[in-house]
A and B are shown apart, each in its own frame.
Chain A
């Protein structure tokens, strides 16, 4: 193998650390997707665009002179209401229907969101400078932006907070009840309509956090939403619905895969590699299951 990465062990460490920190961020988005997929049985293609919108909220704060890190608090609050209204406007009409309908409808939402973001924020690649500096490790051969460490830390904080909230709070219990059996929950007095709206709102809020973190660690562009959707979809189908440790681990795995693919194949194939990985994972699962004469459900 004649790749640079195999000759330089420090590059390997660099890629691994980058991958793991990035993967934690992906896992946060995937957690939101697993939540609304499990509760509402909807695949949200606009997930990535919600992330990018959240990022642009943080970017707007940065332009206004506020430190973009505050975006991790402001952005989820705004995004919660965006999610809520999106539910009331469109999603509530596709909840009980065929999954393909929800895929297409959210695809439509994604296109509208991309275009509106393009109008409002322009088509340039932007980044919100956090100015956190970098940490040098191993004799300055591995550079780690502090913003990435910050983003991983915040992601874990939000994920853990949400798990506790889902376990303890009244709404959390209502959401879990609805996920188990919407009809039974309705009979027992749970306002499922409200629960669905709240779930979608929480999902959007998680996307908002992730977006704000992406704004300071990576770059933003109106049309890069779809890869985030695909990443989170991939993590969810590998980890399964409602298995948080598995979501975290497969998120990190994906992050590692991406960083290594970046070094080995070259940056221009990075997104292509992500989409090909999706295809391979699905096909692998399909062959696994077909031995038992089953299929992915």
Chain B
């Protein structure tokens, strides 16, 4: 046991060092690396829902977008009138000082973590009573409705968009902005990973799996499934909100349907990444998101204009031919690596049956 722990320690410290060194090693790709961190966070939280609990949601984009709007609104609203800010659009009538900027984003991120989690808790009882595809369609509707409604609200910029506060001009270092957002997202990534890993070792995960495998039986065993389902969703919402807040600051401009409640891109990406890596595993979403990001960034520029066609084809191919994902495939191939013991006799008997 001790030996495995040591191996893990080397792996994790290696990854953390790599993560900390990355913005200095690949200094031109800081924005891409930030994206990667956020994508991994989204995939991992989706996996908590879709993979572990069996509630395939398209609606986590709701919390992502909510977090984005909340962070920016708090950051502006703390110091200036929000309505005037959004009305003036990109023009800089108000300027944040350095202290105000960081104070604002700190409080904003806090709010954008808590409120989406509360929203998830509030709507959870109603929505999580739906099962299977009804849940999937309902959350799809929820995400798109949120985008359409946000696009009609004047105070957050309506259809014209919302410019988030620019990075303080007093900081002369050109690299500072990229580094700031990268380390923010990297911290979020570590936080999410530690949290999800903790869940993987807990009874909570077993309960979620019981819900996925057979909810009625889980209920019959005396588990209050609804309570755990809502808790699971709130955990997802918490991290999705934070991810959204960071992305809003990084992108610098929030549009209701194209950036915040972007069901057509982010909303699908998170599902796809988790499935590509293998849902229901700890490392699957991480690997899936990394592969997907490299694939996307590598290919997007080559097939300019055709990227959505490629994305659609990719979804179809992955879903049809690869539904178990990379980890599922590896598990099939090397079951002993995953701690599964195969009874030779049993296996042979099964082969004969076939």
Q: How far is the CB of A256 from chain B (nearest CB, A)?
A: 19
A278 CB within 8 Å of chain B:
yes
Any A CB within 8 A of the CB of B136:
yes
Interface residue? B311 (CB, 8 A)? yes
Nearest chain A residue, comparing its CB with the CB of B307? A115
Q: Does B138 lie within 8 Å of A279, measured CB to CB?
A: yes
B314 at the interface (CB under 8 A from A): yes
Q: Mark B298-321, 1 if CB is under 8 A from A, else 0.
A: 000000011011011111100110
- Contact indicator B138/A111 (Cβ below 8 Å): no
B131 at the A interface (CB under 8 A): yes
Q: Are the C-beta atoms of A108 and B313 separated by less than 8 Å?
A: yes
Query: Which residues of the other chain, B, contact A164 by a CB distance below 8 angstroms?
Result: none
Whether a CB of chain A sits under 8 angstroms from the CB of B56 is yes
The interface-forming segment of B95-103, B143-151, B164-172, B189-197 is B143-151
Contact B268 A107 (CB under 8 A): yes
Asked if A282 is an interface residue, CB under 8 A from chain B, the answer is yes
> Does A100 lie within 8 Å of B136, measured CB to CB?
yes
Asked if B133 is at the interface (CB within 8 A of a chain A CB), the reply is yes
Query: Taking the complex as formed, is A230 at the interface, i.e. its CB lies under 8 A from any CB of chain B?
Result: yes
Number of A-B contacts (CB under 8 A): 125
Contact between chains at B159 and A108 (CB < 8 Å): no
In B124-183, the 8 Å CB interface with A consists of 126-127, 129-134, 136-138, 140-142, 144-145, 148-149, 151-152, 158-159
Q: Is the CB of A111 within 8 A of B308?
A: yes
B311–A111 contact, CB under 8 A?
yes
A115 touches B312 (CB 8 A): yes
Q: Which residues of B sit under 8 angstroms from A160, Cβ to Cβ?
A: none
- Taking a contact as CB atoms closer than 8 A, the residue among B137, B151, B311, B323 that contacts A103 in the complex is B137
A290 close to B (CB within 8 Å) = yes
Complex CA distance for A237 and B141, rounded to whole angstroms = 14
A100 is contacted by which of B127, B132, B158, B314 (Cβ under 8 Å)?
B132
CA distance A271 to B146 in the complex (A): 10
- B-chain residues with CB within 8 Å of residue A196 when the two chains form the complex: none
- Among B56, B132, B138, B313, contact of A278 (Cβ-Cβ < 8 Å): B138
Contact A103 B133 (CB under 8 A): yes
Smallest CB–CB gap between A94 and chain B, Å?
7
| A230 neighbours in B (Cβ, 8 Å) | 137, 140-141, 144
A226 touches B144 (CB 8 A): yes
Q: Which of B56, B137, B314 has the most CB of A within 10 A?
A: B137
CB <8 Å contact, A282 and B320: no
What CA separation (Å) do A233 and B42 show in the bound complex? 28
Q: How far is the CA of A278 from the CA of B126 in the complex (A)?
A: 13
> Does chain A have a CB within 8 A of B271?
yes
Asked if B316 contacts A90 (CB within 8 A), the reply is: yes
Chain B nearest CB: distance from A190 CB in Å? 25
Bound form: Cα–Cα A113–B308 in Å: 10
- What chain B residues lie within 8 Å of A99 (beta carbons)? 132-133
**Chain B min CB distance to A51 (Å):** 17
**Most chain A CB within a 10 A radius of its CB, from B127, B140, B271, B323:** B140
Q: Which residues of A contact B (CB under 8 A)?
A: 43, 90, 93-94, 97, 99-101, 103-105, 107-116, 119, 226, 230, 233, 237, 266, 268-269, 271-272, 275-276, 278-279, 282-283, 286-287, 290, 295-297
Contact surface of B with A, Cβ cutoff 8 Å: 56, 126-127, 129-134, 136-138, 140-142, 144-145, 148-149, 151-152, 158-159, 264, 268, 271, 275, 305-306, 308-309, 311-316, 319-320, 323
Additional pairs, 17, CB under 8 Å, beyond known A93-B320, A272-B152, A282-B130: A100-B56, A100-B133, A101-B323, A103-B56, A104-B319, A107-B268, A108-B314, A108-B316, A111-B264, A111-B312, A115-B306, A230-B144, A268-B148, A269-B149, A282-B141, A283-B126, A296-B130
| 16 intermolecular pairs with C-beta atoms under 8 Å apart | A94-B319, A100-B56, A100-B133, A103-B137, A104-B315, A105-B315, A105-B319, A108-B313, A108-B314, A110-B312, A230-B141, A230-B144, A237-B134, A272-B145, A275-B142, A283-B138
The 10 closest A-B pairs by CB, nearest first: A108-B315, A272-B148, A112-B312, A275-B145, A111-B312, A108-B316, A99-B133, A115-B308, A278-B141, A268-B152
